[in-house]
Amino acid sequence: MSRSRIMSMKDRLSQITKGSRLVREFLQEIHSLADELSIVGHSQEDLDLLVYALNGLGSEFKEITTALKARDLSTCHI
């Protein structure tokens, strides 16, 4: 896989948003991108993936994301 493709996937992952999709679909896209990156040797940390997901949920989930960000997430796994 080309370096530009890897950079594009990482950029997409860092800017992903839920939009009008179901949460399940949004999280599946994050999971798929993370899997693709892992296959080519560019695994993402679980905590980074969690941050991408929480940031991408939007204001509709503000209370949940605030509560999760305030917790000790060192024991959480995606």
Q: CA-to-CA distance for 41 and 67, rounded, in angstroms?
A: 32
The pLDDT value given to residue 55: 93
Residues 5-35 pLDDT 10s: 999 999 999 999 999 999 999 999 999 999 9
Tokens found for residue 65? 């994301």
Max CA separation in the chain (angstroms): 39
- Count of C-beta atoms within a 10 Å radius of residue 72: 6
Q: At what angle do helices 46-56 and 23-39 cross, to 10 degrees?
A: 150
Residues 38, 44 contacting (CB under 8 angstroms): yes
pLDDT at 29: 97
Reported pTM = 0.82
Q: What does the pLDDT look like over 42-73, one tens digit per residue? A: 999 998 999 999 999 989 999 988 888 887 65
